[in-house]
Chain A
Amino acid sequence: MMKQILAVDDSGSVRQMVNFTLRRAGYEVQEATDGRQGLEAASRQKFDLVVTDLNMPNMDGLEMIAGLRKLPGYAFTPILMLTTESQPEKKDAGRKAGATGWIVKPFNAEQLVAVVQKLVR
């Protein structure tokens, strides 16, 4: 069965690029437009990995990660932050919220696939 990945970003183009890249690598990808939608999707279905933006309307990435970690079955699910932010304090906040890794946009397709393959086995 194909591994399920949730891509959360308020930018449609970025969501589509993540979806396109991971689908080509053999993953099934679902999209959410902000943290709130992402949290709802994760509570309905178990995902093997979550890729999320940081700055989003309604609910940002950090808040969503904190929520996800409280959901049953998500304590150890890999969560990758995919953001334009690269400040150490932001990364630190991400780590504290429960993110597994940090990728600065724009991402490289091969690099993203390699990280996902490493985290999802």
Chain B
Amino acid sequence: MESAVGVRELPRWQVPAVEALERAGRELRHALAGSEQEIGALTRRFLEIAGSVEGILKDAGLVSECVSDSLVGDLLTAVESLGAASQESIRVRLLAAGKIGETLGAESQLLGKLVWLARRQSAMVRETAALRVLTRIEVSRLEGEASGFQQLAAELDEFSKAMERSIGELRQQTDERRLRLEELKRSLPEQLARRREAFLRAAGGLESALGLLRQGLGELQKTPAKFRNSMEEIAGQISGVVAAIQSHDITRQQTEHVEEVLRRLGAELSRAPVERAGAARRALLVQQRQLDNVKETVAQWTGQIRRCMEEIARIAAVGLAETGSMALRHERQLNGQLEQMEQIEETGRAGDEKLRQSLRELSGLAELVRKHVETSRVLSERLRLILFNSMVEARGLAARGATLGEISNNIRRVSGDWVEIAGEAEAAMKEIVLMQAEAGEAARIFSESGAEPIRLAGRQARGAMEGLLSAAVCAEAKGREVEAATWKLQGEIVEIEGMSERLSATFSTLDRAIAEMGAADGALEEAGAAGDGEETESWLSALYTTERERAVLRAALGRGETRTETVEAQKWDGNSVELF
């Protein structure tokens, strides 16, 4: 660039100083042009990134809205109800299973009694057969005089056969039932223990699952607050970048002022005598200090931009993207728990059905006993009727009918016993049937009464789950968008880091400018210019527009400490705000 002051016409002592000043000015103009371009590019890129961050925040806000407090609250209530219903169902089942176990034990005892009664009836059948034989012998001996007894013998024969059949059938059925009962009794304690253990395990699992769920849902409830915190943190970091970009602009102005001073010094030196060059040397010193300050500030704020942007990316990636996946994770966990509860209920229901089936088997036996008792009663009645006629006939035969009278008494006794035993069997069977009804009712109650609250609570939980599922789907979709956007952001931040580096590099030419200013100062010193000048401060101060520049000026002239505000001290709290 051609010198504005015409260096060739200058006195010999001035030439090296003015040339050095011009070279320094060129370096500064180069730095200024480069930095203006870089700051502009940095600003534009930052605004684009800030737009991306705002988009991410908006999406993350939607995730947060998806998982509302009321939704989580509803679900928590429904899940608590389901847990309570399942626990109650397990408790009722255990009680009912115990009741059925007791019933089966009592039934087994009653069946034992039935078998004993059937044995007694078998003995009576044998006795009846013997009495029939004796009757026939006597009828044969009396040769037609005891026709009633002949009919009695025929009746006894029929009675014995019918009873034998009935008892045989009853004993067979009773034995089979007893065998099954014995098997059931043997396996029942083991089955009950297994079920108790399974239920208790399920109850424990349910309790810990509910605990985890409560914890998870509690975390989910905190999502909006977490999101707000993340947003605040991001807003803080964005403010930091806003302040840093302004600060870059301020340092650029500071550099502009230095360049302006150098231009004025060049012009001043071209016409001033050597005695006045002292002021120029002082001004040069100040400008060197100003550029040092610019370098320091640029480095601090460039670092600050990098830290802020990295922090924005970190918060966006960790704090926000997690929101969606967290909602989904909990939805899956919850679904798993609901399925587990339903499985427990299903397994329980299958077990109940086996027991109820076992109880239904009793019905067949009860019917058989009823028939047996009925047959016994009808036959006994008929026997008694014939017996009455035979006894009258025996009395008519007087001494010759004494044996028949004895036989008649025995038949009457057997018949009485028979009816009595049939009555006992009937009573035993009634008791069994009653117990069966009670056990059946217990089975029905635990199967149905336990299931209904679970079904109801399950429906409620499912309803709330559907809400959470929609929320989770929304959250997942938004979470993915947030994640993708944060990945993109990471790339953009790397780019902005590169831009910060370039900006720093632009200001590296300041070193060359400072060196040239040193050369100019050396030339002036050699020419005999003294390093003073009272008027320096006032004209430089008028040129500077920032307190920072004035502070550097004061320090350079030995009027005070350089109050170079560090980034740590200044942060982005901003400077003073004053309302008039």
Instruction: List chain A positions with a Cβ less than 8 A from chain B.
Output: 11-14, 16-17, 20-21, 24, 54-55, 83-87, 91, 94-95, 99-112, 115, 118-119
A55 in contact with B580 given A12-B40, A106-B572, A109-B238 (CB within 8 Å): no
Residue pair B577, A84 in contact (C-beta under 8 Å): no
Residue contact A102 to B239, C-beta cutoff 8 Å: no
Contacts of A11 in B (CB 8 A): 249, 253
Is there contact, CB below 8 Å, between B574 and A102?
A: no
Given the known interface contacts A17-B242, A55-B545, A84-B545, the answer about A105 and B575 at a Cβ–Cβ threshold of 8 Å is yes
Q: Which residue of A lies closest to B579 (CB)?
A: A101
Complex-state Cα separation, A95 to B244, whole angstroms: 28
Q: Are A17 and B246 in contact (CB under 8 A)?
A: yes
For the complex with contacts A55-B545, A106-B250, 16 further pairs of A-B residues with Cβ separation under 8 Å are A11-B253, A13-B43, A16-B44, A16-B47, A20-B47, A84-B547, A86-B547, A91-B578, A103-B576, A106-B575, A107-B246, A108-B573, A108-B574, A109-B243, A111-B577, A112-B574
> Is there contact, CB below 8 Å, between B577 and A13?
no
* A83→B249 CA distance, assembly (Å): 12
Q: Shortest Cβ distance from B298 into chain A, in angstroms?
A: 14
- A-B CB contact pairs (8 Å), 17 listed: A16-B43, A17-B246, A84-B546, A84-B547, A84-B548, A86-B546, A99-B580, A101-B578, A102-B578, A105-B575, A106-B246, A107-B577, A108-B243, A108-B574, A109-B235, A109-B572, A110-B235
Q: How large is the interface on B (under 10, 10 to 19, 20 to 34, 35 or more residues)?
A: 20 to 34
Asked if A109 contacts B43 (CB within 8 A), the reply is no
Given contacts A84-B547, A111-B577, contact A105 B47 (CB under 8 A): no
Alpha-carbon separation in the docked complex, A109 to B234 (Å): 12
Q: Answer whether residue B247 sits at the interface, using C-beta atoms and an 8 A cutoff.
A: yes
B459 CB, nearest partner CB in chain A, Å: 45
Known: A16-B43, A108-B239. A86 touches B249 (CB 8 A): no
B527 CB to nearest A CB, Å: 36
Residues of B contacting A83 with CB < 8 Å?
545
Nearest CB in chain B to that of A17: its residue? B242
Chain B residues within an 8 Å CB radius of A105: 246, 250, 546, 575
What residues of chain B lie closer than 8 Å to A55, measured between beta carbons? Answer: 545
Given A21-B242, A84-B547, A99-B580, is A106 in contact with B43 using a C-beta cutoff of 8 Å?
no
Q: Is A85's CB under 8 angstroms from B545's CB?
A: yes
Bound-state CA distance A95–B239 (Å) is 28
Most buried by B among A91, A102, A119: A102
Q: Is the CB of A85 within 8 A of B546?
A: yes
B245 close to chain A: CB less than 8 A: yes
Chain B residue numbers with a CB within 8 Å of A101 are 577-580
A115 close to B572 (CB less than 8 A): no
Q: Is residue B248 within 8 Å, beta carbon to beta carbon, of the partner chain?
A: yes
In the complex the two chains form, what is the Cα distance from A108 to B575 in whole Å?
Answer: 7
**CA–CA, A46 to B40, complex, Å?**
29
Min Cβ gap B312→A in Å is 14
User: Which residue of chain A is the closest to B577 with respect to CB atoms?
Assistant: A103
CB-defined contacts of B235 to chain A, threshold 8 Å: 109-110
List the B side residues contacting A24 at CB < 8 Å. 54
Knowing A12-B40, A16-B47, A21-B242, the reply to whether A107 touches B578 (Cβ < 8 A) is no
B44's closest neighbor in chain A, by CB? A16
Q: Which residue of B lies closest to A110 (CB)?
A: B239
Instruction: Indicate if B131 sits at the interface (CB-CB under 8 A).
Output: no
Contacts of B580 in A (CB 8 A): 94-95, 99-102
- Chain B: CB-nearest residue to A118: B579
B243 partner, pick from A16, A95, A103, A107, beta carbons under 8 A = A107
Of chain B, the residue at the smallest CB distance from A86 is B547
Of listed B44, B573, B576, B579, residue having the most chain A CB within 10 A:
B579
B50 at the binding interface (Cβ < 8 Å): yes
Question: Does B156 interact with chain A (Cβ within 8 Å)?
Answer: no
CA gap between A99 and B238 in the complex, in Å = 28
- Cα separation A21 to B242 with both chains bound (whole Å): 8
User: Smallest CB–CB gap between A94 and chain B, Å?
Assistant: 8
B40, B54, B545, B546: which has the most chain A beta carbons within 10 Å?
A: B545
Cβ of B39 < 8 Å from any Cβ of A? yes
Q: How far is the CB of B388 from chain A (nearest CB, A)?
A: 115
B250 partner residues in chain A, CB cutoff 8 A = 84, 105-106
Nearest-CB distance from B573 to chain A (Å)? 6
Contact: A102 with B50, CB < 8 Å?
A: no
The interface residues of chain A lying within 8 Å CB-to-CB of B47 are 16, 20
Task: Provide the residues of chain A in CB contact with B238, threshold 8 Å.
Answer: 109
User: Which interface residue of A20, A87, A112 has the most chain B CB atoms within 10 A?
Assistant: A20
B242-269 CB mask vs A (1 if < 8 Å, else 0) is 1111111110010000000000000000
Residues of B within 8 A of A115 (CB): 577, 579
**Alpha-carbon separation in the docked complex, A105 to B570 (Å):** 12
CB-CB < 8 A to B577: which residues of A? 101-104, 107, 111, 115
Q: Are B242 and A109 in contact (CB under 8 A)?
A: yes
With known contacts A84-B250, A85-B545, A85-B546, A103–B43 Cβ distance under 8 A: no
Contacts of B242 in A (CB 8 A): 17, 20-21, 106-107, 109
Q: Could you say which of B39, B545, B575 contacts A103, with CB atoms under 8 Å apart?
A: B575
